[in-house]
Chains A and B, each alone.
Chain A
Amino acid sequence: MTYVFQFGIVFDRFHELLQGAWLTVQLSAISMALGLSLAIVCAFLRTTGPRPVRWIVAAYVEMMRNTPFLVQIYVIFFSLPAIGLRFEANQAAVVAMVVNLGAYATEIIRAGIQSVPIGQIEAGRALGLTRIQVYRKIVLFPAVKAVFPALASQFILLLLGSSVVSAISAKELTAIANTMQSTTFRAFEVYIVVTVMYLAIAVAFRGFFAAVYWLVFVRGRA
């Protein structure tokens, strides 16, 4: 093979990639926070809400889990403007990531809720706590603790999946890489570097989640 690798040109413009990586981290972090909040509410409604509400949440979860993320982005970015909901690229990306993560996380937290012994919930009700109080003060904490590893993997999948939002020209890491490869003609070098950057971000997030788990669930309430 005669191809000569030239990484120099990629590293000369490394700051552009760093900017893209920062936006990727921001988009992902915001979506994780909002998506988790959405899931905590949906999991509550899914388990204790009135029947029609439970049914609606279940339909939302199944719709999201059985269609591709990319198509969800297209629906939000290209289809919704027709009914007056217009987002710019970054907003559309966050909305798509939140509703997508929200659905998966709802199922995960629901599994966690089911692992909480029913006696604890009954005890809480017997003490006169409302359903919301029982959920907030008794169920939620051990439920999230039980499924924390699954939640963390889902967050990582979201982070990696965020590269797809480049398709609606949100200027995150993958989009920057696409621009760079089309101006430098060094596609392979650019994508190798960017792949390693994603790997690094994923490892950093995993470390962060491990730290959160330790701080909140191990040290916090020994």
Chain B
Amino acid sequence: MRTFSSNEFMFLLGAMRWTVVLSLIAFALGGALGGLIAILRISSLLPVRLVATGYIQLFQGTPLLMQLFLVYYGLGLFGLRLDAWTAVVIAYAAYAGAFLGEIWRGCIQAVPRTQWEASESLALSYLQQLRYVILPQAVRIAIPPTVGFLVQLVKATAVASIIGFVELTRAGQLMSNATFQPMIVYPVVAALYFVLCWPLSLWAQHLESRLRVGAAIGRAK
């Protein structure tokens, strides 16, 4: 029987790499999707808005685990041969897209209405208004909650272990089964997640407090 020692710890560290990789890919793809959703969500056309809202409601109103199962079993039915990696990446990108879309929508709408009106009166087109006036201001507001969501996303990747995707949590299960030392393995796994997430959380808090100082100074002027 194996006991939990440095080899086993290195195995967990190696698997942690896949947690990071999955989080980053889902964040990148989900970010692209979320940007699109946020833009659609503030469209002046009602049907477009409804589609974006429906998408957000669907993904925020159902369990991530169900989304994973549906992608995993569902896309196979449409003749797409998916390995676990592709299915998991698609599901997490869709999940991240919904949350980021909603977060960023809020940030875009937090930009004062007068900024739209001012840029319109300068004869900028809708896309120019977005690109040169609104988005640069929205991005500043968006960074702290986006970093905060990254923490949520890293933690959410643990659920992928349930459908057999080998990342940190699944590696922990494997090690626990091999060593019969769950009282060591799982706290170590939790500690590794903590090492990953806590700096991000602190960073998000720091960014937020800095933004608040900036806003206060802006008001004082």
Taking Cβ atoms with an 8 Å cutoff, the residues of A that contact B are: 1, 3, 62-63, 65-72, 74-75, 78-80, 82-83, 156, 160-164, 166-167, 174, 181, 187-188, 191-192, 194-195, 198-199, 202-203
Contacts and interface: CB of A to CB of B under 8 A. Distances in A.
27 contacts: A3-B77, A63-B194, A65-B201, A66-B151, A66-B155, A66-B201, A68-B157, A70-B159, A70-B161, A71-B169, A71-B172, A71-B189, A74-B169, A74-B172, A74-B182, A75-B190, A80-B183, A160-B61, A164-B65, A164-B159, A174-B65, A192-B70, A195-B67, A195-B70, A198-B63, A198-B66, A202-B61
A198 B59 CA distance: 11
Contacts of A71: 158, 169, 172, 186, 189-190, 193
Where chain B touches its partner, the secondary structure class is: helix
B contact residues, range: 35 or more
Contact of A79 (B70, B73, B183): B183
Given A67-B155, A74-B182, A164-B159, A203 B169 contact: no
B155 A69 contact: yes
Contact of A163 (B65, B161, B187): B65
Contacts of B172: 71, 74
B197 A67 contact: yes
A57 B70 CA distance: 39
B79 interface: yes
Contacts of A1: 77-79
